[in-house]
Amino acid sequence: MNTSLNTLIFLNFRRLELTLKHLISPMDFTIEETNDLLALAERIKDNPDKYAHVCDGKKIATLFYEPSTRTRLSFETAMINLGGQVIGFSSAQSSSAAKGESVADTIRVISCFADICAMRHPKEGAPTVASQFSDIPVINAGDGGHNHPTQTLTDLLTIKLLKGDLNNLTIGLCGDLKFGRTVHSLINAMVRYSNTRFVLISPNELRIPDYLRKEVLDANNIDYLETDELEKNMPDLDILYMTRVQRERFFNEEDYVRLKDSFILDEKKMQYARDDMFVLHPLPRVNEISVSVDKDPRAVYFKQVQYGVYARMALIMKLLDIKEP
């Protein structure tokens, strides 16, 4: 092969490498990029028709090796709302993973079919592996107990729209802080805003992992309290982020049964909260929020689902490098 052809191939390869962007962890975007993306999501929310054809002819593949209702359908709705189309599978059993195919091979195949993909996998790091073998942007739609960056974009957009600002907030995170990937990603994202304070409410056995305490909270000098008391801390909170106990990540059912109802938010506990405090939940809810709380105007978890579609529409546009119409 002559040298100039070699150089051309090399340059093209570099171009592909440099321009291909993935979202694996919330830290993959700078705070400026995150804020720009949230601003785009807000513009989409205010004028969805303007964006109805920006992805005409594009396809998203949703590769879900773990159960999902919201996240997969939210991605698919987001792409359809942008004018694009959807392919994918919703369980490992219905994909060639059941025959033993590796994530690396699957993503090489999917790269021939789709323009972008969202992957959920029970193994931490699987979307990272996929991104290393992919010719298309890979979005982590949840990897084991590790990260869930698009839920975080949803959460940030919800907080921004309801509180007006992402700075100076006291955020209560309640429930399974050990295995809850949405909690881990939200902590990583929120420490970048000014004057964030966390109240980490969980049973002792379900406290946040050590690496988060040391490498994220302590390393950034974040003000936080670890406690097993919800009621007492309610009056301090701007946001209460409830989570379910992650049954599928427990080693034994006995521990799950003992811990599953550690915290139940009900109308009585809501009386201790401020009028401008909002309750978020990534859903699905099991028992941790009594259904009687749903009618409280401060309960915004279903609104949060709707905002998730706008956040994912903005994300798809960004990763596909689609210009604002």
Q: Which residue's Cβ has the minimum distance to ligand NCD?
A: 282
State the catalytic residue, choosing from 121, 148, 312, 318: 148
Contact between 106 and ligand NCD by CB under 6 A: the answer reads no
Has 120 been annotated as catalytic?
Answer: yes
Rounded to an integer, what distance in angstroms lies between the CA atom of residue 143 and that of residue 25? Answer: 10
Rounded to an integer, what distance in angstroms lies between the CA atom of residue 46 and that of residue 27? Answer: 27
Q: Which stretch binds ligand NCD (CB under 6 A): 83-91, 209-217, 264-272, 282-290?
A: 282-290
Has 249 been annotated as catalytic?
Answer: no
Contact between 142 and ligand NCD by CB under 6 A: the answer reads yes
Q: Find the angle CA(223)-CA(215)-CA(143) to the nearest 5 degrees.
A: 110
- Closest CB 176 distance from ligand NCD, rounded Å: 8
CB-nearer residue toward ligand NCD: 71 or 158? 71
Cis bond leading into 284, ω under 30°? Answer: yes
Rounded to an integer, what distance in angstroms lies between the CA atom of residue 49 and that of residue 46? Answer: 9
- Closest CB 12 distance from ligand NCD, rounded Å: 37
Q: Find the angle CA(179)-CA(314)-CA(308) to the nearest 5 degrees.
A: 45
User: Applying CB under 6 A, which of residues 43, 45, 70, 269 lies at the interface with ligand NCD?
Assistant: 70
Give residues 167-196 in contact with ligand NCD (rule: CB under 6 A). Answer: 181-182
CB-nearer residue toward ligand NCD: 54 or 141? 141
- Closest CB 151 distance from ligand NCD, rounded Å: 5
Q: Where are the beta strands (DSSP E) in the chain?
A: 59-64, 85-89, 116-121, 138-143, 170-174, 197-201, 223-227, 239-242, 278-280
Rounded to an integer, what distance in angstroms lies between the CA atom of residue 205 and that of residue 252? Answer: 13
Q: Which residues of 86-117 are buried (b: 16+ CB within 10 A; e: fewer)?
A: bebbbeeeebebeeeeebeebbeebbeebbbb
CB-nearer residue toward ligand NCD: 148 or 260? 148
Ordered strands of the 85-89 beta sheet: 85-89, 59-64, 116-121, 138-143
Type of residue found at 151? Q
The residues facing 201 across adjacent strands are 174, 227
Contact between 151 and ligand NCD by CB under 6 A: the answer reads yes
**Cβ 243 vs Cβ 174: under 8 Å:** yes
CA–chain centroid gap for 187, Å, is 11
CB-nearer residue toward ligand NCD: 148 or 207? 148
State the catalytic residue, choosing from 34, 59, 62, 71: 71
Q: Which stretch binds ligand NCD (CB under 6 A): 39-47, 122-130, 260-268, 278-286?
A: 278-286
Contact between 59 and ligand NCD by CB under 6 A: the answer reads no
CB-nearer residue toward ligand NCD: 59 or 148? 148
User: Applying CB under 6 A, which of residues 138, 270, 282, 312 lies at the interface with ligand NCD?
Assistant: 282
CB-nearer residue toward ligand NCD: 71 or 196? 71
User: Applying CB under 6 A, which of residues 178, 184, 244, 312 lies at the interface with ligand NCD?
Assistant: 244
CA–chain centroid gap for 209, Å, is 18
Has 148 been annotated as catalytic?
Answer: yes
Give the interface with ligand NCD as residue ranges (CB under 6 A): 70-71, 142, 148, 151, 181-182, 243-244, 282-284
User: Which residues are the active-site residues?
Assistant: 70-71, 99, 120, 148
